[in-house]
Amino acid sequence: MRKQRVENKRNKSAVVAESVLKSVETLKKEGTEPTFNAILAYLRSRNILANHRSLRVYLDAMISSGMLTLQEESTKQPNVRSRQVHSLKSDRPLVEAGERAMLFHGLNWTIPSKSSIKLKTDFEGLARARIAHGIAYASLEDTIVETLAKSKNTPRLFLILNFCAALLATKKFDRNYLIERATQRNVKDTIEKLLEEIDYVLYSPKPNVEDIRALFEIRKQLANRGLMTSSFHERKFLLSPDEMVDVIGKQLGVK
């Protein structure tokens, strides 16, 4: 399995992210320029954040998602770093949640025309986002839900389900968060059925599939994935078990 290319894996808190944004606004109202040091001092005084590296992570995320702008002002003294002044731009973060984000999260697919979905999210979505090369990518869960929601009534639905199946079968994700977001975007039923179909292929004692060799290799590679359901009843889904084996096998390089 290919390693995920992520530059910023540091866990972030939605509460802290909101506090950082409010600090910029408060400092501005008080007549204090919201420089990096001023923001850090404000947050330290309120026992919210004390580490300068952690603050840098939050500020970078907010700049990349379009919430803040950064202006560097040179100082008169030589050999002194320029002052970094932050300004409010938007109260909602904007993250990449389309097929480009799927590729970022490790989709092992060749996509000639990569769709770009700009998702206006909340502080939780920002906290779970990943920053790479100045781009804020939505979390795997938000990416899957938003891409599926945008395509559910289009001819691209089948293809998008392939992508979602490939990622959900092979990547780690927060199931509770995934279902929560899916409920908000009215795709909960589709997501739950997709997860059931994945579990059927990976764990059913007698799966109805033709390519047993590919399935054996898939199960061997995903041995530590963990069962999400114990029910293998009759199901009806857009992706058949054989198509699911092809999708997962392609993702893992088995087919």
**Residue 219 belongs to what H/E stretch?**
helix 212-221
What was the pLDDT predicted at 59? 96
**Same domain, yes or no, for 241 and 166?**
yes
- Backbone angles phi and psi of 58, in degrees to 5: -65, -45
Half-sphere exposure in the Cβ direction for 167 (13 Å, CA): 30
Residue ending a domain, choose from 88, 112, 127: 88
pLDDT one-digit tens code per residue, 185-234: 999 999 999 999 999 999 888 888 999 999 999 999 998 776 565 556 65
pLDDT one-digit tens code per residue, 151-178: 998 999 999 999 999 999 999 999 999 9
Residue 39 burial (CB count, 10 A): 23
Total tally of structural domains belonging to the chain: 2
Q: What CATH number did the domain enclosing 56 receive?
A: 1.10.10
pLDDT one-digit tens code per residue, 67-126: 999 998 766 666 666 788 999 999 999 999 999 999 999 999 988 777 899 999 999 999
- Mean pLDDT across the chain: 89
How many helices and strands in the chain, by DSSP H and E? 11, 6
Residue ending a domain, choose from 88, 119, 154: 88
Give every strand in the sheet of 118-120, ordered side by side: 118-120, 94-96, 135-137, 130-132
Question: For residue 43, what are the domain limits?
Answer: 14-88
